[in-house]
Structure 1
């Protein structure tokens, strides 16, 4: 029998229950059974459940948090308090912002910023690897080159940087953003040269350009600089307001 004090049904998958200690239980067949737990290459544990007739991999700590852990501030990520990804008990989980998750990763040694400094890469920016389905940061890397070094040659540092600069959405099935900018969204219109007009304003005077490329050519700067100013709502060259129209 299932102890109702320790188990709760998963709201969007009612044939399954999850416990406060991180066990997932299926009621799909006549006999109740505990699901097999797998470990992905990033050290997180997951189970396979059926949602709307399709098999889905769900992170165990995410299931426990979603079912048992209140989230009044609507924070997007769930953190292992002691840094141990194998400990998916309710007491070891907390909702966090992307910034809090980054700070915790550095504090617990999950993000190796000391190595970054030792290698002389003082200008490198930590990069978050993000699950496209949950929006959760699954790893923070010291630089864009680290995924290739650790995970293999198929991870291209240039492609990762293009994601970070919002010139590309995903690479190898993941989103990549500079840490602290996990919320930034890729917009397809950034890639459509000559179709998205740009409004540039200085001291109340407006000038309309046919595209971000036209703005870049006018000011003799890179197109990426224009994109970042628009997407991050910051002034171009420190003084111009820029936006799509």
Structure 2
């Protein structure tokens, strides 16, 4: 069953639910022209480039974006160890149900679940460098290996994306 709690710092303005939804509350606004009523409603969530959901909240004429998973955790989960981050147990960034969230350390959050393995796969893309003068071709199993052989790992990655040379080679990912 869905449960609603006030959002800390926004009491009487907004509530967050145990299912990861956010709503504004019905309230009276005072203006020079008189008082009027603003009807409460469910708020739209914004999916960010990183895959997490955020919501915009207004208070005292100021607008601020908040991570929905963090609002849910702050409202529903105790944090006796004062951990700084919230982890999605099933690794689905849009699943902000309270039972899917837990407080954790940064290190545990980074190394949780399949993330490390997924990152290894991304890093293990083969790269091919073609010398812009001689046409010589060199191939490495990953940017990490290119880095171990006198090239900058990050510069090889950048070259693969923007086609600009690094140390006289144009780099490409090999499928």
TM bracket (short chain): 0.5 to 0.7
Find the counterpart in structure 2 of residue 95 from structure 1.
Answer: 103
Find the counterpart in structure 2 of residue 25 from structure 1.
Answer: 23
Deviation of 1:104 (Å): 0.9
Matched-pair contact (CA < 8 Å) for 2:88–2:102? yes
Find the counterpart in structure 2 of residue 77 from structure 1.
Answer: 85
Q: Verify: 1:119 aligned to 2:127, yes or no.
A: no
2:111 partner SS: helix
- The TM-score with structure 2 as length reference comes to 0.63
Find the counterpart in structure 1 of residue 75 from structure 2.
Answer: 67
* Structure 1 segments unaligned to the other structure (5+ residues): 125-142, 154-245
Find the counterpart in structure 2 of residue 190 from structure 1.
Answer: none
Matched-pair contact (CA < 8 Å) for 1:16–1:28? no
Change (3 A) 1:41 1:146: farther
Change (3 A) 1:115 1:36: closer
CA distance in 2 between counterparts of 1:147 and 1:27 reads: 48
Normalized per residue, the structure richer in strand is 2
Find the counterpart in structure 1 of residue 6 from structure 2.
Answer: 9
What CA deviation, in whole Å up to 9, does each residue of 1:9-34 have, x standing for no partner?
01211110000000001015442200
Deviation of 1:113 (Å): 1.8
CA distance in 1 between counterparts of 2:96 and 2:52 reads: 9
Deviation of 1:53 (Å): 2.8
Q: Verify: 1:53 aligned to 2:61, yes or no.
A: yes
Deviation of 1:115 (Å): 3.1
2:144 partner SS: coil
